[in-house]
Chain A
Amino acid sequence: MADAVLFEFLHTEMVAELWARDPDPGPGGQKMNLSVLEGMGFRVGQALGERLPREMLAFREELDVLKFLCKDLWVAVFQKQMDSLRTNHQGTYVLQDNSFPLLIRMASGLQYLEEAPKFLAFTCGLLRGTLSTLGVKSLVTASVAALPTCKFQVVIQKS
């Protein structure tokens, strides 16, 4: 039970440390911090994408990979499953989490809406990294309408 909390604290500190050190409050510095967080999440996602599906059978199609993300990956990292997965069948998937563990401690509603993206960057990278190990090139963005509900939009890049 204590394991989940350890990651939450570490994540909070990561965000706080990056923002405390940065003297440039303008949009440029902000973007760099977000990409640093996303990059970290990407590397972690790559490793998780290798370790988690180990005993599973090979994935048959893209939808299986997304389902794996929503169930196994989310349970492994956040101890709960993703609440909903929607797709337009043309390469865009929207994953919705109604009580995202990294946001749930902050507020319930519209307070702190501007700060929320900082806490979602790592998770976007995590999704992108896991997808990339499993062979799917994608672009992941996150949006928050009201804490703690958040949506991750995954757009598959066809190369």
Chain B
Amino acid sequence: MAVCVAVIAKENYPLYIRSVPTENELKFHYMVHTSLDVVDEKISAMGKALVDQRELYLGLLYPTEDYKVYGYVTNSRVKFVMVVDSSNTALRDNEIRSMFRKLHNSYTDVMCNPFYNPGDRIQSRTFDSMVTSMMIQVC
């Protein structure tokens, strides 16, 4: 269960960011912002290394004492960043991958919506409800 989910555009500004409302939201925004550097580093490392496999899932970006941050980048250089609670014991890698796949599918649906202009903030209710289903139920 994620604590914070963010969708960041190619130009590194947020298209959508939502966190569990109990915590100080600014802290999560800051974490997502710092994780962007790690994402960029991984992307450029992928470009330089002569690796055949270029995966979209970036894996664990960096762990802090309370939280772990995971990243995923699409072919259109849109980044998804997810912050999960460390105390939530061993969310398996597969589960994180499937959460990112759901995010990617919903994002693609938003993109195909003719009323959505690429580059705007995401205001789709379907996307919202999909993200809610992925986040912790606190109250």
Contacts and interface: CB of A to CB of B under 8 A. Distances in A.
B111 A56 contact: no
Contact of B108 (A51, A56, A60, A134): A51
Given A46-B118, A58-B75, A133-B76, A51 B54 contact: no
Contact of B56 (A51, A57, A133): A57
B90 to A, nearest CB: 27
Contacts of B114: 43
Contact of B76 (A43, A57, A135): A135
Interface residues of B, number: 20
B112 A50 contact: yes
A50 B108 contact: yes
Contact of B111 (A51, A58, A135): A51
Contacts of A57: 53-56
Nearest to A130: B76
Q: How large is the interface on A (under 10, 10 to 19, 20 to 34, 35 or more residues)?
A: 10 to 19
A41 interface: no
B131 interface: no
Contacts of A54: 74-75, 104-105, 108
Q: Which of A46, A58, A59 has the most CB of B within 10 A?
A: A58
Interface of B: 10, 46-47, 53-56, 73-77, 104-105, 107-108, 111-112, 114, 118
Interface of A: 43, 46-47, 49-51, 53-54, 56-60, 133-135
